[in-house]
Chain A
Amino acid sequence: MKSSESTLAHREAGTNIIPERKSTNAAVKKKGLSRKAKDNLAGYLFISPWIIGFLGLTLGPLLFSLAASFTDYNITSKMNFIGLENYKRMFTMDDLFRTSLYNTIYYVIFSVPLTTAGAILLAVLLNQKVKGMKFFRTIYYLPAILSGVAVYFLWMQLLSPSTGLVNTMLGWFGIEGPAWLFDPEWTKPALLLMKMWSVGGGMLLYLASLQGVSSQMYEAADIEGATAWQKFYHITLPMISPIIFFDVITSTIGSFQIFQEAYVMTENGSGGPGNSLLFYNLHMWNNAFEVFDMGYASAMAWLLFIIVMILTVLNMKLGKRWVHYEGGDGK
């Protein structure tokens, strides 16, 4: 602890005397490198794991799969340039491709708004001054941390047409529940139901953001005689819009990648009844790792990349219209 004294002295000196930095530079120079060079060296050394990962596991693979998408690569024997053949095949010859794209878009269109609205609603409810908020918060968040095969098995049991919990509960209200995972019409709603169970994961973000909205605004609105809906629409929504924006972008990307649920719940990725759970990534997976058509799978990967990028850019462009940033400068 000998150094603490000198630390204090330096710090005090630093606050008053401006040319402090110059002198340290000179001091360091005596040892060889300047502070600036040292910082550059340390900086790059420290981030080097990420650079290796970025080049080796992200950028490299991206470029490789772009190149492979123009070939008939099958990982072992061949890699011939076949131009746009893979892309043509997707749209003209591969019926399952169209099915998978439809299934995926169906899922995204319902899951993004439902989970976003559900998470906001839950956060608004939890942000009231109810007793036991922490307790409720824990319970609602719990399903979000549960994932993987066990949860899919659980839902297969819950959705069992005759003895499952869901249809039993529907029966209490005189509703005869559908066959869920066995009926092509109901497989995707079944997955959406499962998704809604863990809606509390997104709720935390909104709750934190809601707690940051100053109560003065609501008090001012009360004086003006605003209704609860007006307050929600004109104060709450704009104030949490940056989080909604962030949530919509990430959950759109996430929903496009739906795979595990469908893989586990349809007997090793068979796609379910009538291929109703054959999602884009499942089809890509089957092409890549069942028949080792890596060229075609790469083309599918790139199309997915392009679709997701377009949607993200679109989200960002649209976001400028409705996202409200405090202080007014949209960063």
Chain B
Amino acid sequence: MSQATAPRFYETKKFKENVKLTFVTLLLIAGSTLILMPLWWMISTSLKSPAEIAQYPPTFIPKEFNFSNYVEAWQTAPFTRWAMNTVFIAAVGTIGSVLVNSLVAYAFAKIRFKGRNTLFIIVLSTMLIPGFVTMVPQYILFSKLGWVNTYLPLIVPAFLGSAFFIFLLRQFMMGIPNELIEAAILDGAGHLQIWWHIMLPLTKPALITVAIFSFNGAWNDLLGPLLYINDESMYTLQIGLQTFKGTVQTQWHYLMAMSVTVLLPVVLLFFFFQRYFIEGSNISSGTKG
């Protein structure tokens, strides 16, 4: 502005940039606090005594840490059984999901077969169909098959491919050079061998992403168990937790203790495999249009 004279320090670009960054950082810290506060609240409530929970104004740090809340709540209902059921369903489903989706994705990425592009468009368009539209007839189908009150309706669909995972893995596999596959074919390898010996090892990061997402999905699934599982001994943690609320009513220290417990494996998974969560989202974003 004023020529000749050097700009004052608060007029320099660097200063302005620093002010902006400080402001943004403060905003982000405030936002993070807001995000973390509910989680802190959950943990703190889970450790309080019922009297302290009812107290007004509420306390942020429990006066005494009642870790016994966790033990008592866990023993109030068959949580051990429910946890094992959930792990079983999630584990089998995850294995199926990783194997089947990568097999299907390999075909869409690397095998030239008739009608491949049309079929792939159908795969993508099924992502636009709301799950609720097919829920009622699926229930009718599974109940006619006599699968109600078994784990089959929760597990079998995982072995029949998921459009999103097929898409995600296919995008990843497209990045693997064709020459690698051509060379293996010239050496006399079949597609099954190529998939197993070449594709699976090379796409490990994407497979881990799919594994984590499917495990999470199965772990958090409420609808499936709600629809198909009747026996309390066959419940998963989600539906178990839902009925647990009916048992303990508004005993929030127990409810929060079990909520923390059910969320904990997912949080641990997230912190250990964070990279794959983030990669998973980025793979799907790499395909605009």
Give the B-binding residues of A (Cβ under 8 A). 3, 6-7, 10-11, 14, 24, 35-36, 38-40, 42-44, 46-47, 49-50, 52-54, 56-58, 60-62, 64-65, 68, 75, 122, 125-126, 128-132, 136-143, 145-151, 153-155, 157-158, 162-165, 168-169, 171, 197, 200, 204-205, 208-209, 242-243, 246, 249-250, 253, 256-257, 259-260, 263-264, 281, 284, 288-289, 294, 297-298, 301-302, 304-305, 308-309, 312, 325, 330-331
Contact = CB atoms under 8 A, between A and B. Distances in A.
Given A56-B160, A68-B137, A204-B282, A145 B277 contact: yes
Contacts of B147: none
A228 B112 CA distance: 48
A149 B41 contact: no
Interface of B: 20-21, 24-25, 27-28, 31-32, 35-39, 41-42, 45, 53-58, 100, 103-104, 106-108, 111-114, 116, 119, 122-123, 126-141, 143, 157, 159-161, 166, 179, 182-187, 190-192, 195, 216, 219-223, 226-227, 238-239, 241-242, 245, 252, 255-256, 258-260, 262-263, 266-267, 270, 274, 277-278, 281-282, 284-286, 288-289
Contacts, number: 280
B103 A49 contact: yes
A297 B135 CA distance: 10
A53 B119 CA distance: 13
A130 B134 contact: no
Contacts of B220: 147-148
A131 B183 CA distance: 46
B187 A6 contact: yes
A190 B104 CA distance: 41
Contact of B42 (A140, A154, A208): A154
Contacts of A204: 278, 281-282, 285
Contacts of A7: 183-184, 186-187
B31 A140 contact: yes
A264 B288 CA distance: 36
Contact of A128 (B24, B135, B219): B24
B136 to A, nearest CB: 5
24 contacts: A40-B113, A40-B114, A46-B107, A46-B191, A47-B107, A56-B141, A61-B134, A61-B138, A62-B129, A64-B140, A75-B140, A130-B24, A145-B266, A145-B267, A149-B242, A150-B260, A151-B259, A154-B256, A163-B53, A163-B54, A165-B41, A200-B35, A298-B136, A312-B128
A148 B135 CA distance: 19
B285 A52 contact: no
B267 A168 contact: no
A39 B222 contact: no
A297 B123 contact: no
B53 A301 contact: no
A129 B141 CA distance: 54
Contacts of A136: 28, 32
Contacts of B260: 150
Contact of A153 (B139, B256, B288, B289): B256
B274 A138 contact: yes
B216 A145 contact: yes
A141 B278 CA distance: 9
Nearest to A138: B274
A46 B103 contact: yes
Most chain-B CB neighbours within 10 Å: which of A11, A146, A302, A312? A146
Given A7-B183, A40-B113, A146-B267, A58 B134 contact: yes
A140 B36 CA distance: 9
Given A44-B113, A47-B108, A140-B32, A129 B183 contact: no
Contacts of B106: 46
Contacts of B281: 204-205, 208
Most chain-A CB neighbours within 10 Å: which of B112, B216, B262, B281? B281
Contacts of B242: 149, 264
B133 A302 contact: yes
B61 to A, nearest CB: 13
A148 B133 CA distance: 21
B35 A154 contact: no
A56 B122 CA distance: 15
Given A52-B160, A128-B21, A151 B263 contact: yes
A225 B31 CA distance: 31
A155 B263 CA distance: 14
A39 B227 CA distance: 40
A318 B287 CA distance: 20
A128 B20 contact: yes
Nearest to A31: B188
Nearest to A200: B35
B232 to A, nearest CB: 15
The 3 closest A-B pairs by CB, nearest first: A43-B113, A53-B160, A242-B288
B252 A157 contact: yes
A308 B38 contact: no
Given A43-B113, A44-B113, A163-B55, A289 B134 contact: no
Nearest to B226: A263
Contacts of A164: 58
